Amino acid sequence: MPMVKVSLAYAPFGILALAGVLAATPAVAQNAGQENPGKVGPPLETVKAFEDDFRLVGIGVSAKGRVFATAPSSQVRSRYSMVEVNPRTGAVTPYPDAAWNNFNEQGDAKSEWISVQALWVDKADHLWALDSSLSKLDQDRLPPKLVEFDLSTNRVIRQYDFKGVVSAKDSLNDLRIDTAHHYAYLTNIGSKGSLVVLDLKTGKSRQVLVGDRSTFADPKQHLMFGKEIALRPDGSVVAIHADGIALSPDTQWLYYRPLTDHNYWRVPASALRDARLSETELAKKVEYLGSSVLSGGLIMDQHGTLYGGDLENRTVVAITRTPSHTLNTKVFVSDPSKLSWADGFAISGGYLYIADSHLWEIAFKNNLPRSGPFTIFKVKLPR
């Protein structure tokens, strides 16, 4: 796949003002999307490699360098659902304790992880854990939850659930926390796709942009295994809706995208918070950014550069926006001997942390051969 540089002339909802656009291009390699480009960019440093008893997906890293990781339970329950990793010794400790990691379907799961998916460390250095629950469970009794931890004490500050807002057909996947306005924004990969907006002061949440073209994966595009369409274990075509999410450094824009197409979108965060807007009015605020690599997780650095995994080429890319309103996608790091599926991301101490979940090799009917352990890597970011 050549370097993606797509005009925004086709923008279904129009082009909004340029404030908060993606930053100028950093000094990264020029061969974006190239199949098997070999080693590119700064070296991948291994933080922790896990055995099969911890199927890594999500990561969070605090300002002080504390490393946390998740292993959701959608297919196989790992030994622990969430752990803290000592980055010096590699020692793993269940977080916040062993009891939280001992789920019992007969309980209420208020102090237990059902299937903890994503993590985020906010600007106050609070850790947020998104437990997506499981579709097979009674979600009236065991709903998805978002849990905020004080890392100075490792105690729960507050817990939020989404009863009456999402159903078992939905699947909350990733989150960003806006400490300036006291809101959380979450993506929903299930059902028709959507965003969920949570007022952290009141605890009330809303599902928005349900089935919108920005949250619903384009059915004409697919996640590909070479020339094969990715299939679920039951043989159906994989369709994963709103997945990757990033909040701009000034908190003005929320960037997001479905996993199984190549489209990138953003919406003013203020519009998401405005409950007075109808769905039609909110949809008109959404901006189509263009096409780029098929990625899952996203993260935006302090300069406004988006980083994501090019899942079809096993690289991590940097995506910026040029003055001519195109997306400029470049390979930031590639190492075919190590990297398989760059999934969760975190930024701390000048490093990009990457969770390699190897989903190619464990989650689909047409699995690829297993290429290595579930691994947390870190790589130095450009200044």
Domain extent for 87 = 5-380
pLDDT at 310 over 60: yes
- Please give the mean pLDDT across all residues of the chain: 90
pLDDT of residue 24: 41
pLDDT at 17 over 90: no
Please check whether residue 153 is in contact with residue 93, taking contact to mean a CB–CB distance below 8 angstroms: no
Please check whether residue 341 is in contact with residue 356, taking contact to mean a CB–CB distance below 8 angstroms: yes
Quick: pLDDT tens for 276-285: 999 999 999 9
pLDDT at 269 over 90: yes
pLDDT above 70 as % of the chain:
91
pLDDT at 19 over 80: no
Quick: pLDDT tens for 115-158: 999 999 999 999 999 999 999 999 999 999 999 999 999 999 99
CA distance 174 to 298: 9
CATH number of 351's domain: 2.120.10.30
How far is the CA of 29 from the CAs of 19, 40, 292, 336, 337, in angstroms? 26, 7, 16, 15, 18
Quick: pLDDT tens for 46-59: 999 999 999 999 99
pLDDT at 89 over 50: yes
Starting at the earlier edge strand, list the strands of the sheet with 315-321: 5-7, 326-334, 315-321, 306-310, 298-300
- Before 26, cis peptide (omega within 30)? no
DSSP string, 324-353: TSEEEEEEEEE-TTT-S-EEEEEEETTEEE
Number of domains making up the chain: 1
Please check whether residue 376 is in contact with residue 69, taking contact to mean a CB–CB distance below 8 angstroms: yes
pLDDT at 11 over 90: no
CA distance 286 to 298: 18
Quick: pLDDT tens for 237-268: 999 999 999 999 999 999 999 999 999 999 99
pLDDT of residue 34: 54
pLDDT at 29 over 70: no
Q: pLDDT category, 370, cuts 50, 70, 90? A: confident
Q: pLDDT category, 15, cuts 50, 70, 90? A: very low
Model pTM greater than 0.75?
A: yes
pLDDT of residue 80: 96
